[in-house]
C-alpha cells in the first residue's frame, strides 16, 4: 500500500507545470462569471477597488505560503502546517474546508459550463449539460494521473492567451479602434463614471470581497503541489512571484475592460460578461469563440478542483484521520474513493441548475469563497507561529530559503483582511447562506475530529485485551 502511495506522489512537476496549474485553478468560474455579479453590485470603480484589495490579500497569503511550503514541501500542505502550528483539530478542519472549497466549486463550475452551452443550445436545460460534464471530468481524472500536469499546462495556456487577447481587443473597442456591433460610438470611460464612482456606497465592496477572493482562489494550489514538485526550494519562489504578477495584470486588466464595456445594469451571472462584451464588439464569431474558450477554461478549473479535493482526502487518510480506503489507489495510481466522494460537488451542480441557477450559483460561489478564505486565514496564522518558533529556537533567518517580507505585518494584515471579508458576507442577503452553511460545517469538523480521536484512543485497549 505504501509503495502504491509513494508511486503516486513522485516529484515530477516542473516550474511551468506549477505556474500553469495555479493559473489554471484561478482563471475559471470566478473571473468569467462572478465578475458580472460584482459589477452589478458595486459598480465599475467599486469592482476595480475590490479586485485591487483582493490582489493585495492574495499577495499577503502567498508570501506566507511561500515561506512555509519552501521550508516544508508537503502534499496537502495547508492542513499539515495548521496541524503542526495551530493544533491537530484545526489542521483537520482546514483540510475539510479546502475539500469543501473545491467540491462546491465543482458544482458552480458545472453550472457555469451549462450556462455556456445554453448560449448555443438555449432549448436544452442546464442540468443535462451538468450530467455530461460531470461524467467527462470524472473520466479524465480516473483514467490516469500521469498526464494531469501536462494537460493542465496546455489548458491553462489557452486561457492565458485568451485573456491577453481579450484585454487587447476590449481596450481597442473602448477607445474606438474596433467598431461596436450596433454602430454606437466607442464608450470610452463613460460606463465607469455613468453611475458615479460608488453608486451604492462602500458597503457593497465589503459584501463582495469573498466573491472576489473566490475568483482569486486557486493560487494556493502551489502549496498543494509542492510535495510533487522537482526542486521545491527553487521552483516554488519562482512560481509564486510570476503567478501573482500575472494574476494582477490579468484580473485588473480584464475587470477594467469589462467595467468599461458593460453598463452596470446589464451585468449578471446568467451569461458570462466576456460573451456580453464580444456580442457588443463588431468581430465576426468572436462571441462564439470566446464562449468556447470559457467553456474549456471552466472545465479545466473543474479538473484542477477535482485533483485538489481528491488530494486533500488522500492526505487526510495518509495522516490517519480518515479511513484507509481514501488513501487506496487503483492500478493507474488514482485515489478512486477520494475522487468519487469529491465528485459530490457535481450533485450540487445538478441541484443548483434545477432549482434556481441565477441565485443558487451565487450562493454556491459564496460557500466556496468562505471556505477558501478560512483556509487563507489558517495559512497566515500558521506562518505567524512558524516564524515566531523559528526565531525563539535561535535559528538564523538565513536558514529560510524563502522569507515573507515585513514580518509580522504580512501575516497579521492577511489574517485581518480575510476575517473582514468573511464578516462582509453577513451584509449580503444573497451570500449570507455561506455563513449559515460554513460556520456549522467548521463546528462539525471540530466535533468529528474529537469524536474520531476518542475512537482511536479506545482501539489499542481493545486490541490488548
Give the pLDDT confidence of 282-326 residue by residue, as tens digits: 667 777 887 788 788 778 778 777 877 887 888 788 777 777 888
Q: How many residues does the chain have?
A: 465
C-alpha cell at 337: 474513493
Give the pLDDT confidence score for residue 139 in this predicted structure.
81
386 pLDDT more than 60: yes
pLDDT per residue as tens digits for the range 87-115? 999 999 988 888 877 887 787 778 778 88
Cell 494556493, residue located: 220
Query: Is this structure's pTM higher than 0.85?
Result: no
Give the pLDDT confidence score for residue 378 in this predicted structure.
94
Give the pLDDT confidence score for residue 171 in this predicted structure.
86
Residue 5 binned pLDDT confidence (cut-offs 50, 70, 90): very low
Residue 2 binned pLDDT confidence (cut-offs 50, 70, 90): very low
> Which of 202 and 95 is assigned the larger pLDDT?
95
- Of these ranges, 12-21, 297-306, 446-455, the one predicted with the greatest mean pLDDT is 446-455
Tell me phi and psi for residue 229, to 5 degrees.
-115, 140
> Which of 162 and 333 is assigned the larger pLDDT?
162
141 pLDDT more than 70: yes
Task: Say if CB 363 and CB 438 are below 8 A apart.
Answer: no
191 pLDDT more than 80: no
Residue 195 binned pLDDT confidence (cut-offs 50, 70, 90): low
Tell which residue, 246, 182, 197, 169, has the closest CA to residue 48: 197
Neighbours of 234 (CB within 10 A): 14
Give the pLDDT confidence score for residue 447 in this predicted structure.
93
> Which of 448 and 22 is assigned the larger pLDDT?
448
Task: Say if CB 442 and CB 374 are below 8 A apart.
Answer: yes
443 pLDDT more than 80: yes
State whether residue 13 is helix, strand or coil: strand
- Of these ranges, 157-161, 278-282, 437-441, the one predicted with the greatest mean pLDDT is 437-441
Amino acid at each position: 500500500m505504501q509503495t502504491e502511495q509513494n508511486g503516486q506522489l513522485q516529484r515530477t512537476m516542473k516550474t511551468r507545470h506549477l505556474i500553469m496549474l495555479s493559473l489554471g485553478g484561478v482563471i475559471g468560474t470566478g473571473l468569467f462569471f462572478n465578475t458580472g455579479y460584482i459589477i452589478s453590485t458595486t459598480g465599475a470603480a467599486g469592482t476595480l477597488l475590490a479586485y485591487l484589495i483582493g490582489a493585495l490579500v492574495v499577495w499577503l497569503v502567498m508570501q506566507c505560503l511561500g515561506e512555509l511550503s519552501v521550508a516544508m514541501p508537503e502534499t496537502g500542505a495547508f492542513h499539515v502546517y495548521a496541524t503542526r502550528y495551530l493544533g491537530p483539530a484545526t489542521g483537520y478542519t482546514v483540510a475539510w474546508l479546502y475539500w469543501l472549497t473545491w467540491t462546491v466549486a465543482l458544482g458552480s463550475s458545472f453550472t457555469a459550463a451549462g450556462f455556456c452551452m445554453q448560449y448555443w443550445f438555449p432549448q436544452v436545460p442546464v442540468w443535462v449539460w451538468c450530467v455530461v460534464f460531470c461524467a467527462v471530468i470524472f473520466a479524465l481524472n480516473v483514467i490516469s494521473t500521469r498526464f494531469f500536469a501536462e494537460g493542465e499546462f496546455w489548458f491553462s495556456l489557452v486561457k492565458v492567451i485568451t485573456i491577453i487577447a481579450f484585454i487587447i481587443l476590449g481596450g481597442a473597442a473602448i477607445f474606438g479602434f474596433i467598431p461596436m456591433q450596433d454602430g454606437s460610438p466607442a464608450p470610452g470611460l463613460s460606463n465607469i463614471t455613468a453611475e458615479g464612482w460608488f453608486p451604492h456606497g462602500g458597503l457593497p465592496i465589503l459584501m463582495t470581497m469573498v466573491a472576489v477572493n473566490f475568483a482569486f482562489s486557486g493560487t494556493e494550489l502551489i502549496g498543494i503541489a509542492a510535495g510533487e514538485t522537482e526542486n521545491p526550494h527553487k521552483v516554488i519562489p519562482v512560481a509564486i512571484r510570476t503567478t501573482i504578477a500575472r494574476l494582477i495584470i490579468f484580473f485588473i486588466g480584464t475587470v477594467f475592460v469589462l467595467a468599461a464595456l458593460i453598463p452596470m445594469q446589464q451585468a449578471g451571472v446568467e451569461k458570462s460578461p466576456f460573451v456580453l462584451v464580444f456580442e457588443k464588439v463588431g468581430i465576426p464569431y468572436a462571441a462564439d469563440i470566446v464562449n468556447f474558450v470559457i467553456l474549456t477554461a471552466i472545465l479545466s478549473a473543474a479538473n484542477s478542483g477535482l485533483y485538489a479535493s481528491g488530494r486533500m482526502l488522500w492526505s487526510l487518510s495518509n495522516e490517519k484521520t480518515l479511513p484507509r480506503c481514501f488513501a487506496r489507489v487503483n492500478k493507474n495510481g488514482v485515489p478512486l474513493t477520494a475522487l468519487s466522494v469529491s465528485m459530490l460537488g457535481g450533485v450540487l451542480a445538478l441541484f443548483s441548475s434545477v432549482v434556481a441557477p441565477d441565485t443558487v450559483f451565487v450562493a454556491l460561489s459564496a460557500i466556496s469563497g468562505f471556505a477558501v478564505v478560512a483556509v487563507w486565514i489558517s495559512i497566515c496564522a500558521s506562518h505567524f507561529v512558524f516564524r515566531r518558533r523559528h526565531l525563539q529556537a535561535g535559528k538564523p533567518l538565513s536558514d529560510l530559503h524563502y522569507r515573507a517580507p515585513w514580518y509580522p505585518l504580512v501575516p497579521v494584515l492577511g489574517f485581518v483582511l480575510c476575517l473582514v471579508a468573511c464578516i462582509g458576507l453577513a451584509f449580503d442577503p444573497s451570500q449570507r447562506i455561506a455563513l449559515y452553511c460554513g460556520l456549522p460545517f467548521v463546528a462539525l469538523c471540530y466535533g468529528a475530529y474529537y469524536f474520531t480521536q476518542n475512537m482511536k484512543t479506545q482501539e489499542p485497549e481493545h486490541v490488548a485485551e
